[in-house]
């Protein structure tokens, strides 16, 4: 094993360990009720006390175990590190599900190399933990993707059309455009899901539970971990319109990916 592989394996082990602990904390806090802390970009864009507490836990563990690394978190922002590794973290992806008591929420943690900008980084390790579902998905660059020890593979055949998922941003003024996008994609779809956690949608593509996923306007922490899961499960991830305010993310097995890029590109 090369030094880079050893490092990626260590990052993976740490990402998994922290994601499990953070997931347990999120689940515990959910069991005693959710306190809304604030609204963010729009009224629909919420943050709970648990989002902040879970991110604090993840930050503290990274700082204790890898003090030279950078951090980019949804709730607490960016800190540059000196090691070349940055942790890109969504403490609770699917906060609205979480607030409503829907179990489809996840802790998403990626360790990336290079600049902490999507497109400029190379993800090394990823963990997406869905504590209320009892599932943990993880990947290491060049080493594969797994769910609790089982290797993951994207789908390759979609004879009845592709089971697709998408999401909508919090800004109501973007909904019409996103619904128009759905209309253009439906001819290749078997059906469409809207799960409410982008990180889990991507994990499901990696696990072959979805054939593909597309969404505009995601933040880096929404997809940093999930994108590595999909790639390591044999799929492809593309970002289109990267100069726009709302780039389009597409993730799927190769054939569905190329069809989606053909329609949405």
User: What backbone torsions phi and psi does residue 243 show, to the nearest 5 degrees?
Assistant: -85, -10
Task: Give me 160's structure tokens.
Answer: 């009845």
Question: In the structure encoding, which two tokens stand for residue 100, read together?
Answer: 């409503």
Q: Which is nearer to ligand IPD, 140 or 198 (CB)?
A: 198
From 118-126, 191-199, 241-249, 257-265, span contacting ligand IPD (CB under 6 A): 191-199
CA distance 137 to 89: 15
Which residues make up the interface to Ca ion (CB under 5 A)? 90, 93, 222
DSSP percent split of the chain into helix, strand, coil, nearest 5? 40, 30, 30
167 is a contact residue toward ligand IPD (CB under 6 A) = yes
Of Ca ion, ligand IPD, none, which one sits near residue 249, judging by CB under 5 to 8 A according to partner kind?
none
CB-nearest residue to ligand IPD:
167
Burial of 138 (0-12, 13-18, 19+ CB in 10 A): buried
Check: CB of residue 93 under 8 Å from CB of residue 107: yes
Closer residue to ligand IPD in complex, CB, 96/102: 96
CB 107 within 8 A of CB 133: no
> Cβ of 35: how many Cβ atoms within 10 Å?
10
Q: Is 55 in the site for ligand IPD (CB under 6 A)?
A: no
- Least Cβ distance, residue 115 to ligand IPD (angstroms): 22
> Closest approach of Cβ 55 to ligand IPD, in Å?
11
Look at residue 167 and give the partner it binds from Ca ion, ligand IPD, none, a contact being a CB closer than 5 to 8 Å depending on partner kind. Answer: ligand IPD
Q: Establish if 218 lies at the interface with ligand IPD (CB under 6 A).
A: yes
Supply the minimum distance, in Å, between the C-beta of residue 104 and ligand IPD. Answer: 9
DSSP string, 50-92: HHHHHHHHHHHHHHHH-TT-EEEETTTEEE--SSSEEEEEEEE
Instruction: Please state the closest distance from residue 22 (CB atom) to Ca ion, in A.
Output: 14
Contact positions with ligand IPD (CB under 6 A) in 93-112: 93-96
Output the smallest distance, CB 47 to Ca ion, in A: 11
93: nearest Cα among 197, 226, 231, 177? 197
Distance of closest approach, residue 116 Cβ to ligand IPD, in angstroms:
18
> In the bound complex, which residue of the shown chain has the CB atom lying closest to Ca ion?
93
Give the max Cα distance, the chain: 50
Does residue 212 interact with ligand IPD by CB under 6 A? no
Q: Which of residues 62-91 bind ligand IPD (CB under 6 A)?
A: 74, 90
Q: 164 is written with which tokens? A: 């697709």
Q: How far is the CB of 11 from Ca ion (least distance, A)?
A: 21
Cβ proximity to Ca ion, 185 vs 199, nearer residue? 199
Is 46 in contact with 95 (CB distance < 8 Å)? yes
Could you list the residues that contact ligand IPD (CB under 6 A)? Answer: 74, 90, 93-96, 167-169, 196-198, 215, 218, 222
């Amino acid at each position: 094993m090369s030094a880079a592989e050893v490092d990626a394996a260590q990052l993976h082990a740490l990402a998994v360990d922290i994601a499990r602990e953070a997931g347990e904390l999120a689940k515990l806090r959910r069991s005693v009720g959710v306190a809304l802390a604030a609204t963010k970009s729009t009224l629909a864009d919420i943050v709970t006390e648990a989002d902040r507490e879970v991110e604090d836990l993840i930050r503290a563990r990274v700082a204790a175990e890898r003090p030279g690394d950078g951090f980019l978190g949804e709730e607490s922002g960016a800190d540059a590190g000196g090691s070349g590794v940055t942790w890109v973290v969504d403490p609770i992806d699917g906060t609205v599900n979480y607030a409503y008591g829907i179990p489809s929420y996840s802790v998403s943690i990626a360790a990336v190399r290079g600049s902490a900008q999507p497109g400029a980084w190379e993800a090394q390790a990823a963990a997406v933990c869905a504590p209320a579902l009892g599932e943990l998905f993880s990947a290491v660059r060049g080493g594969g993707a797994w769910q609790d020890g089982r290797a993951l593979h994207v789908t390759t055949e979609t004879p009845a059309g592709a089971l697709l998922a998408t999401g909508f941003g919090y800004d109501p003024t973007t909904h019409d455009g996103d619904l128009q996008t759905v209309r253009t994609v439906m001819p290749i779809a078997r059906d469409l899901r809207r799960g409410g956690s982008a990180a889990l949608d991507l994990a499901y593509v990696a696990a072959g539970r979805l054939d593909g996923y597309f969404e505009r306007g995601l933040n880096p922490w929404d997809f940093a971990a999930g994108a590595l899961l999909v790639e390591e499960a044999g799929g492809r991830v593309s970002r289109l319109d990267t100069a726009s305010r709302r780039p389009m993310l597409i993730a799927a097995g190769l054939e569905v990916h190329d069809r989606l890029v053909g329609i949405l590109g």
